[in-house]
Structure 1
Amino acid sequence: MVSDLGYGLNSLAHLALLLLLLTVRKPGVAKHLLVLATATTVIWSTSLITLFFGPISLSWLLTVDIVKQLAWLLFLASCIQTNFQSLHHVLRRPTTLMILAPACFALASPYFFAANPAWSFLTLIVLSLEVLVLLEVVYRQAGREQWAFKPLIIYLGAANVFEFVTYANATMVNQVEVGYIAARGYIYFLLMPLLVISIRRIHHWGIDIFISRDVVLHSSLLLVAGGYLFVMAVIGYAINFVGGSWGATVQIILVVMSFALLATVFLSNAFRTKIKIFITKHFFANQYDYRVEWVKLTKWLTRSGESTSDVYHAGLTGLLNAVQYDSGLLFKVSKSGIECIAKASQLSHADIDEKQISMLNKLVEYSGENGWIIDTDAYLVKPFDYEGLKLDREVLKQWNYQLFIPFMQDNNVWGFAVLAAGDKEKVTLNWEVKDYLNAVSEQVGTFIQHHEAAQVVAENAQFAAFNRMSAFVLHDLKNVLAQVDLILANAQQHKHNPEFIEDTFETLEHTKARMEKMLKQLTDKKVVEDSVNDEQCLSSVIDEVIKQRCSSLSPVPKLHLMKERSVVVDKEKVANVLYHLISNAQQATSDDGEIDVVLNVDSAQNTQLVLIEDSGIGMEKSFIEERLFKPFDTTKGNAGMGIGAYDAKTYLESIGGKLVVTSEVGKGSCFTLHFPIV
């Protein structure tokens, strides 16, 4: 009578829920299978009311229990994927067939051979474990909707844990305890409101979103415990089958072994990590749909502009979009150090100081050895995960960025990006995120490096055209040289004013000498190759350039020697570089303006600085970034070739230095040349 009341209340409660579900016209396979599972529960509960159907036989109890579990398993199978269009689509999946196979076999087996009830007990234990495993999968796939699925998980989880205990006990004692059967109706009835709450919260089924792996190991430990209980049930059945009984010795052995197993799982970091990776790799869906993400990234990169700065920015934002972050910096590594080439930052303090630059250099060196992506937040908690990496923890605490992602080229670090989540949710750098970011960074790095290679090819093509033009220039120079030779020959025969003529001869001879040198540089590669770097004081080179080549044009530059150390350079090449930059400054400055050439030493960077400052018209930031160092791009029309600034920058970089330009429209410009001190 007591059990009838519980099953009756449960039948009425689930019948009311079934009627409510039938009044809702909501499409979806999961919804229809939920109706089926609820209806099956109503029939199952009603069939166990002895007042209506008399005493319940064991075979009938086992059959209706298996049918109930079969209906709920089918419902859960429909919740783990989004693209089901019909029941046929659910049933034709191999995974669904594997889920339903034990229940179907248990229902069909009595028609072919006489089965021992103990095997049915084992089958129901397996079905309960199946439900628990599927609940775990559904909960993980719910992501942000976990709060909606939680009541459903508790409802089915608690009910099936009770079913598991009921039949585990029946396996050990070879009979179903009446007390368990009598309590089931009340348990299902009391849990049923959780199912109602979950149905009210969930607006769709089969959600394909982020799988939370932070709780993979902890929840999987429940399966370990369940497996242990299952083993105990099997052992109990075997002992009971041969007519024995549990002895104190066996109980002590099993208890000690269970504690040893749990201690191993909880205390062994390596063991837990291996279990976690194995489970997430082989039993759960990927966090990212690689095909979709790959197409998105490719489309984003192909929409970038043609300028180098646009390509850098597109690469950085593509990387940010891949992990849904909103702030980041892109750096390029060169002989002279690291240079920030793109920014996409929403942070209030996006600039980095010298200590942080030193930290980045250590990260570059570390990643250059192994190509690792580094989570600086994780380093603060688990520095032993990055063996050999030593970072200043105080500097790291002030660091605003989480992820350090290197771009490799020929086993060297070409550059790197640092990313920050900002207001977005931070990603956890597990094995899958690492693989995903490695693939993304490989594509972004290849995209940027391909653009740079294309730029080099384009520049080489321009120089090839320039070389063709040089053939005509050489021809004209030869003609001029022949004319000068003729003037010199005739002038020596017609001297009227010896002093004047002598000065004229000296000037012409100097001009001839320079033209011959130009011809040699254009026609003989060995002249360039045989140039020798030697130790020079730049003040003497600058003074010579100003007096011999820049004094005829106003304003005349002024040299200011603050501090100087000798450098190893090609004197003639440096003289040409300085002449081009000073000449450009003179052309950009009015006659009453000022041009100062300042020499100083940066002891921290161990570089000799040459600052060419003018009070001219200045340049816009976009011009400096996009055109100033682009060869053959000139603002002087036919009067200029547009290779002076480009030549200066490439030469300084070739010797390990750099050229930095600052300018303000209407106030002037400053070209700072960094020469490494050896």
Structure 2
Amino acid sequence: MARGRALTVATLGALSQLLSALAFAGFGGVALWLLSRPRARMAALMPSPRWLIVAAIASAIWCAALYRFAPGSSEAMVARSLRDLAMLGWLGATFWPARAPMPGPPRLILRLLVTICTIALAGGIAAHVQSATAGVWLSPALGVSGMIVAIGGLLIIDGAARRASAGLRMPVMAVAGGFAMLWAYELNVQLIGALTGKPASTLIHLIPAVALMIVPTFVLAAMDIGRERIRLSRSVATRTLVLLGAAAYLILIGLAGAVARLVGGDYGELAQGVFLIVALGAGGLLLLSARTRAWLAVMISKHFFEHRYDYRAEWMRFTATLAQGAKEDGSEDDRNLHRRVAKALAELTGSPGALLLLPDAQGAFRVAEQWHWPAGLEEGATLPLRSSFMLQESRHIVDLDAERRGAAPDGEGLAIPGWLLADTRAWVVVPVLHFQRMIAVAVLHRPPVSRPLDWEDLDVLRIAGQQAASYLAESQSLEALSEAKRFDEFNRRFAFIMHDIKNLASQLSLLARNAERHADKPEFRADMIGTLKISAGRLSDLLVRLSPRERRAVEAGRALVEPLLRDVAAEMRPRRALFVGCQAGLAAWGDAASIRQIVQHLAANAIDASPAGTPVQVVAVAQQGRARIDVIDQGAGMTRAFIRDELFKPFVSTKDGGFGLGAFEALGLAQAMGGSIEVASEPGKGSDFTLWLPLADTREDAGTGEPIGKVA
């Protein structure tokens, strides 16, 4: 066993020498590199570049002493005093420059530490020069002075961290952190040796490893990087605090055991058992008590962070909740925007629930939605018109606790209703404003650990309320747009019907005028009866189309073209005879009523555009695998620009009193059946409207003899 222990000590000694050599090379190289850099550039990077060079040189000398002598030797401790003196000088010059002198207590501590380091350095050198056996009494004295300097140095670094401003770069803070790590490690080694009565040789031999770890911080401090202030995220900082707490717990257990062994008696196991019980009790309290967790979160946020809120994380969660809040069971998204708004505002401040009040027809705000608000809300809970008006005008976030105490200066003007003040669960009233208009009011439930509102709460709630208002306003705009679209659809349908009614009225007027002259003719009376039947049928169809229900869907199937053309010719006969020609057995694939309506529109327009006595032809053939129906007139014709830019636009017409909807509706019906309309026309030469439709025989040959669907 003794041989193995000797081997371990020898191995540790060799490893310590290797690490010391590496650390010496590192600090020496850094010092030479810093000396070679331009002074102007170094001065722009940090307030005290010379002291950083001095600290690097002193650290290199200390590492040389660690290599030449043992890390726990008196010679190494003397070199450590030189290193501590340089480190203290760098801290003072960096964090308390001449333009911002150090306050009284830190200045006193720094002077005391400098004095101790100077005495230790001078006394150690003198003792070694005068006596070769000075290490017998010098090592304990240097050990005590080292502990004092380490404790004081940590206090100086804590004050420096508090003093640090946004102008100091993060690598400079990293150098200070490296110094703190080195002092904390050495202090831990000294404390363990003092408590156990013997030096911790393993930890002492690893001191060069810690020195080697802080070499990169010197390099970073002198490089052109990291000018901006760098912060850890709140989650990482919280996890670090948890780890530090666990480490402190383990250290306390070790110290308790060491003290128990020094006192004597079997108290070590008792102390460890007590610590274990306390730890389990604290853990169970945190796990089971929401109030305790909330209190701990408040304390950590208050004492460890500059701001109460982690704005980046909170804003991302707030926006995600508003945009797509998941249901509590995780099954699907919550489509209720009002509940999501209440939830987002509540989670922002740690409130367990919230109410959302929306305006009614009279302008008062009523409870429209709630998120986790306990039962017992008063029936008819409203915010009166006067209260809502004052809240909108003032844009004031109301602290209801202050209102209940009468401490709010503008409480009387806001006229907070009695039911809200009587319900002690209500904590804050947040107006949700959109461009100075209040579109909702949120009432937040009191958090588990109640606290007064400060400026940060008010700013966050005000901005969050505006963000939530934009979502609510967008939702209201979408609802209004949907309603406007329904009205537009009704108006569009009514415009088409008015167009058809105009055509029917013209046809009936012509029939009435002709009846005055030809009523005694049997042929005319027969045509008149047929025309009246067709007109009555079309009026019935118009009434159906005017129904507020969704526009009917029509069946797409095999439609014989010739009977449709004969019906159109019979309908148009009172106005003008149509010359109809159709290929025998021609069948199109589409809705028969829609095809008839298209041909009616095109024929009526052709008749209107043609002079009296000129023919209008309707010809249907199969061509290029499609059904082709041409409506040809010899009227005034149209220009290419008119055909391209205006012909198929609604409410554009060349006829007096025309609606300009015939060609537009015809094109829409044709496209709905998979067809199209082409126009060939020239001014003075008439027009040819060609309706192209799928050929029914082709569809049947493809195996689609039955109707394949519906055309809207």
Q: TM-score range by the shorter chain?
A: 0.3 to 0.5
Q: TM-score w.r.t. structure 1 length?
A: 0.37
Larger Rg: 2
Q: TM-score w.r.t. structure 2 length?
A: 0.36
